[in-house]
Amino acid sequence: MTFTHDAIVIGGGAAGLTAAGGCALFGLNVALIESNKMGGECLNNGCVPSKAIITAAKRAQQAREEKRYGVQLAPPKVEWAGVHKHIHDAIAHIAPHDSRETFEEMGCEVIMGRATITGRQTVDVGGRTLKAPRIVIATGSEPFVPPIEGLGSVPYLTNENLFDLTEQPEHLMIIGGGVIGMEMAQSFCRLGSEVTVIEPGKPMGRDDPESVQIVVDTMKGEGVRFVEGKAAKVGGKDGAITVHTDGGEAISGSHLLIAVGRSARVSGFGLEELGIELGRNGIKVDARRRTSVKNIYAIGDCREGPRLTHVSGYEGSNVALEITTGLPTKVDWKALPWCTYTEPEVAQIGLTEQDARKQYGDKVTVIKEGFDHNERAIAEDSTKGHLKVILKGKKVIGASICGKNAGELLLPFTQSITGKSDTFSLGSAIISYPTRSEISKAAAFSAWEPTVFGSLPKKYVRLVAKLRRSFN
């Protein structure tokens, strides 16, 4: 076969851009195919716009405190047009990083169109047949819309159209208490909307329950209402929608947001016809991100596994390295971090306490440090939250953090879990004062405190003291 390219990448989101850009920078001839907007979910209706609205909401919340620290602030006046502009300005500012022009400058051939995989090494797009020894599928995911009775007859929002609202919701009802649901619930409440979260289980179920409870209590205090139950039926019309739960409760509001998870985008690309194996929610892959057709990779949200932007970038880098060098690369999730950007934030890396205890039982030790003992947090009057370090012996296997800027404190535990550092090194590090990162040092030192100040070191110190007295 005569190949037109060295690699074909389908999808211009975080995973596809990283894979295509990496291969092109090594000098390979790469075709990058995108049928919608460059930048994918994260740029256009995910990470970037959600963090922009969170920022606006924080501003409003700060102003809502009438008098703090001797500084008088006026109550907030939210202008939705300004919030909307801030969101889309953020997208526009970052868009050039992911643009067609940027990747063409790297050396990619960027093709806008719908791709269909027609063979193990062939892809059709816009009437052209492309051929390459390696194909990378990075088609992403889309909001999962649950089969709720009546949902198809009422207008509803997902993250794909939420940030296009030109008028602020009077009462936003959110079905789903995951990351998107919780972040948006707090943000819209802080901006002045009435907000109700409808969730059948515990909010943010994959995170440390103790950390999540702090966030839930904070959001309740700010005015968010939580309804425990499953949405069974929806009715109404634009501006007047009612959700009926399986517990018999009826909640009425002006807008409805569906935030119950993501579905892998795998239909219509020729995968079934080629015999690529699919799982419950995505393409099945091995540790190298290879599909059942071994020269075809699947990375990012389209495959089974964690759905996070930084995971997509990590997988894109791995696959680019494997394609360019021919050396196998495998994913490693033991130090996988994630963060929910509520206030306070909830950040996690590695195993949570409950998962660690299920796996290792009484071999697990948990070190807990509260921000109420951190002097930077005290000075900022922001002491809500804690750090929990999960240990097996002296080895870190996880960390759960709840507090202001919690996500910024994960890095040292990445190093510890992967073996590039350890708790002793972190506990003896010199940390700038006053910073919140001192809490990491305190927790790491606590892991060694019984050893450092144990009976043997004390005996040694007494011996040294005795000898010193004898010779002086």
Q: What is the dihedral of CA 430, 435, 439, 441, to 10 degrees?
A: -10
Q: In 3D, which of 38, 25, 27, 14 has the Cα closest to residue 110?
A: 38
Q: Are residues 120 and 159 part of one domain?
A: no
- What pLDDT is recorded for position 152? 94
Last residue of a domain, one of 210, 231, 260: 260
The CA–CA distances, whole Å, from 170 to 151, 175, 240, 252, 428 equal: 20, 16, 10, 11, 52
Q: Does 253 map to a domain?
A: yes
Beta strands in 4-126 (DSSP E): 7-10, 30-34, 67-68, 71-72, 108-112, 115-119, 122-125
Mean of pLDDT values over 258-266: 97
Tell me which amino acid residue 115 is: A
Which of residues 438 and 273 earns the better pLDDT score?
A: 273
Mean of pLDDT values over 215-236: 97
Tell me which amino acid residue 145 is: V
Last residue of a domain, one of 260, 277, 306: 260
Which residues share a beta bridge with 469? Answer: none
Q: Does 70 map to a domain?
A: no
At residue 175's C-alpha, the angle toward residues 358 and 410, to 5°, is: 45
**Angstrom distance (rounded) from CA 192 to CA 223:** 10
Which residues share a beta bridge with 250? Answer: 244
Q: Are residues 268 and 126 part of one domain?
A: yes
pLDDT band at 472, cuts 50/70/90?
low
- What pLDDT is recorded for position 453? 79
Which of residues 442 and 221 earns the better pLDDT score?
A: 221
Q: Does 198 map to a domain?
A: yes
CA 461 from chain centre, in angstroms, equals 48
**Angstrom distance (rounded) from CA 148 to CA 106:** 46
Q: Does 393 map to a domain?
A: yes
Q: Are residues 297 and 194 part of one domain?
A: no
Residue range(s) defining the domain that contains residue 269: 7-38+99-143+263-325
Mean of pLDDT values over 390-405: 95
Q: Does 49 map to a domain?
A: no
Q: Are residues 156 and 254 part of one domain?
A: yes
pLDDT at 82 over 70: yes
Q: Could you give the number of structural domains in the chain? A: 3
pLDDT in tens, 15-60: 999 999 999 999 999 999 999 999 999 999 999 999 999 999 999 9
Q: Are residues 378 and 358 part of one domain?
A: yes
SS3 at position 254: coil
Q: Which residues contact 25 (CB under 8 A, 6 or more apart)?
A: 106, 107
- What pLDDT is recorded for position 137? 98
Percent of the residues in the chain that have a pLDDT greater than 90, as a whole number: 85
Q: Which residues contact 430 (CB under 8 A, 6 or more apart)?
A: none
Beta strands in 290-363 (DSSP E): 296-298, 337-340, 345-350
**Angstrom distance (rounded) from CA 328 to CA 246:** 49
> How is residue 289 written in tokens?
């991100």
Q: Does 411 map to a domain?
A: yes
Assess contact for 195 and 189: CB atoms under 8 A.
yes
Whole-number mean pLDDT of the chain? 94
| Radius of gyration in angstroms for the set of CA atoms belonging to the chain, rounded to a whole number | 26
Tokens 């919140």, located at residue = 436
pLDDT in tens, 119-142: 999 999 999 999 999 999 999 999
Q: Are residues 404 and 365 part of one domain?
A: yes
pLDDT at 277 over 70: yes
pLDDT in tens, 145-180: 999 999 999 999 999 999 999 999 999 999 999 999
CATH number at residue 391: 3.30.390.30
**Angstrom distance (rounded) from CA 381 to CA 200:** 34
Tell me which amino acid residue 356 is: A
**Angstrom distance (rounded) from CA 118 to CA 164:** 36
